[in-house]
Structure 1
C-alpha cells in the first residue's frame, strides 16, 4: 500500500541521512586503531588492554543489536538514532578522560558499543531496505554502505592529524562533537513502504522462530562471523603491525584510508551485482578473494608498496559483504522484522569482531608477533566461502515448499 510520504524526495533524504550517519559513526569507529599506541604508551599498558576494550565494544555492539533492531522495527529509526548517538557521544567524551583499564572498558567498550548498535548498518540499511522496491533494494543498500565507507577514508587521516596536533584525548573530544551532530541529521530519516510491497504481520516471536528453523540463515550468520573477525583484527592491529615492520604511522593510516576509499567502490559494486546475481554466490567469491589477498600480504615481504596494494585490495572486499548479507536476509524473510533479523546476523559478526580484536592483542603479547592471527584469518576465509556456497536465495515459504 502506498503512502503520501513515499516520494523520491523522502527516499533521497533517507539515503542521504543514512549515508551521513554511517560515514560519521563508522568513520570514528574505524579510527580507534590509531589510539592503541599513544594510549598504551602513556599509561604503560600492553596491547591486550586496549585490544580487549575494543573487543568488548564489538561484543556489546553485537549483543545489543537484535534488541535495538526490535526497538527500531517498532518505534522507528529516527528515535533509535537519537538515543544511541547520544550514548555514543558520551562514550567518546568519557574515553577521552580514561586513565585506567576499567574506565576504558566502560567508555570505549560498553557505551560506544551500545551507541554503535543504533548508528550502523543493521538499523540504517534496514530503513533503506523497507523504503525501496525489492528490485532496487540491494543497490540502495550498496549506495548507503558506500557512502558510509567514505567516512573511513576521510576520518582516518583527519584523526591522525588531530592526534599529532592536539593529542589523543582532544582528538577523541572532537570525535564526540562530530557524533553529537548526528542528532539533527536524524530528522532526515523518514521511512515509508513503497506501493506494491506487502509487509507480513507476523509477531517478533514468530519471525524469530521462522529464522531459527531455517538452516541457511545460520550459515549466513556464521559466514558473517568470519567477516567481523577479519575487519576488526585488521582495522585495530594493522597500524601496529606495520610499525613492527619498520614502516611509519603515516603508512598505516594511509593503508586504512585506502581501505575506506576503495570500500566505496567495493560496496557499491556489491550492491549493484547483488541485484543481478545470486548474493550468496557473490559472498563465496568475496571470501575466496580475501583468502588470496591476505595470503599474499602475509607471505610476501612487507613494504610500503605491498601495504598500499593490500589496502586497495582489501578495500574492495571490506564491507561488500554487508549489502549482500542484509539483502539476502530481506529476500528470505521480508522486511517487516528486518532490523531484528539483520541484528541477529550482526551479533555473529560482532562475536567474530570480539575474537579478532582481542586475539590480535593477546597473540602479540604472548608470541611477540601477529603471525598466528593472520593464519587463522586465512583459514576462516575458506570456511566462510564453504558456508555460503549452499545457501539458496529463496523466500522461506518457497524454499520450504
Structure 2
C-alpha cells in the first residue's frame, strides 16, 4: 500500500527540484525567446541586413546543440547543479557582451558562441533529465511536462517585458537588465538536489554492469528507432526557430506593428504551458510516438491554414494559440521516449544527442529564414519547407517505438 501511495505523489526533494527547474527554465528560455525582438532595432542601428542577426542566432542554436551531449555527459557525471551554475555565469557574460555588440563578429561571439554554450547548460536537456531521474517512472511524463511548462510561462512573461524595455530604455539597456535576471540562475542551481529514483529493493531487477559512455553511445547510435526520433526533432527545431525569430519581421513586412509579433509569441508561450503539461500527462497514458505524429501533423495543418486565410490580427493571434499548444509539447514526449529506451542513468547525454538534431534544424530555420528574406524580400520558400517538414515529422515517427534497450 505504501509503495502504491508513493507512486501517486511527488517527493519533497522532487518538488523542491521542480520549483528550481521551473524558475531556471522560465528565466533561461524566457530571455532566449525574446531575441527575435532585437533583430529589427539592432539591424536598423548598425545598418545590417537580416542575415547578420539571423546568422548569429543560427550559430547560437547550432552550438547549443553541438555542445549539448558533452554538457549532458558532465551533468550525468558531476551533477546538474554545477553545470547549470556555470551555464548561468556564461549566459550573463554573453548578454552583457551582446549589449555592446556593434560589430557582426562581436554579435557572433556573444549571442552565438557564449550564449549558445550557456543554453546547453540551462535549458531542457539538463533540467528535464534531472527531473526525469528523480521522478517515479509512472509520473515521469507529468514531472517533465510541469518543468517544460515553466519555460513557456517565462516566454509569456518575458516577451512583452522585453518589448517594453526595448521601447523605453533601448535594446542595449534591455540586454543588461536581462543579464541581471539571468544571474539569478546561479543561486537557483543549488535547488537541483533530488536523488535519482530507485525502485524498492524487493521489486528491483538484477543490477546490470555499468556501461561506459562509449558503450552506451554505440548502443544508441546503432538503434534505428533512436535515430528516427532524432530526425523527427530536426523538424521541431526548424519550425520553432523560424517562427520565433522571423514571424515578427514577417508581420512588419505586411504592415503590422512590432507589438503584434510580440503578442503572437506571448500567446505561444502562454498556451504552450497547457500544451507541454498536457503532453506530459498524455505521454504517461498513450503511445508517445503516436502523439508526436499527431503534433507534427497538426503543426502542418495550422501553418497551411494560417497562410491561406487573409492576414489579420485575429488570424495572427489564433495561429499563436494553436502553435502554442503544439510548440514544445514535443520535448517531454521525446525525452520520455529516450528515458524508456535507455533508462535515466545516461538520459542527459542521450537527450543531448537527440537535441543536437533539433538544433541543426534550428540553425537552418533561423539562418535560411534571414537568407530567404534578403534574397527575395519574403519568406515563401521557408514557409513551404516548414509544411513539407511537418509531413516528414509524421513519417519518421512511424519507425519509433519505446522498447527498452538498457534498463536503469
The TM-score, its normalising length taken from structure 2, stands at 0.95
Residue 97 of structure 1: SS of its match in structure 2? Answer: coil
Match of 1:244 in 2: 253
8 Å CA contact 2:238–2:361 kept in 1: the answer is yes
Count, aligned residues: 394
For structure 1, the 5+ residue unaligned runs are none
Shift of 1:396: 1.7
The answer to whether the aligner puts 1:226 opposite 2:235 as a matched pair is yes
Q: 2:136 and 2:366 mapped to 1: Cα distance?
A: 37
> 1:161 aligned to 2:164?
yes
Q: What per-residue deviation string (whole Å, max 9, x for no partner) do you get for residues 79-123 of structure 1? A: 001111100110000000000100000000000000000000000
Residue 186 of structure 2: aligned partner: 183
- Asked if 1 retains the 8 angstrom alpha-carbon contact of 2:65 and 2:120, the reply is yes
Which of 327, 339, 346 aligns to 1:330? It is 339
TM-score, length of structure 1 as denominator length: 0.96
Offset of residue 257 of structure 1: 0.1
1:253 aligned residue:
262
Q: 1:288 aligns with which of 278, 289, 297?
A: 297
1:346 maps to what in 2? 355
Residue correspondence of structure 1 range 48-127 to structure 2 within 5 A: 48-127=51-130
Aligned residue number for residue 174 of structure 1: 177
* CA distance 1:7–1:48, shift in 2 (3 Å): closer
SS of alignment partner, residue 190 of structure 1: coil
Q: Counterpart of 2:69 in 1: which secondary structure? A: helix
Match of 1:118, SS? helix
After TM superposition, the structure 1 stretch with the greater mean CA deviation from structure 2, 119-128 or 201-210, is 201-210
- How far apart are residue 148 of structure 1 and its match? 1.3
Determine the structure 2 residue equivalent to 1:43. Answer: 46
Give the 3-state SS of the residue equivalent to 2:122 in structure 1. Answer: coil
Residue in structure 2 matched with residue 194 of structure 1 by the alignment: 197
Matched, 1:263 2:272: yes
Measured after TM superposition, the shift of residue 390 of structure 1 is: 2.0
Question: 2:285 is paired with a residue of what secondary structure?
Answer: coil
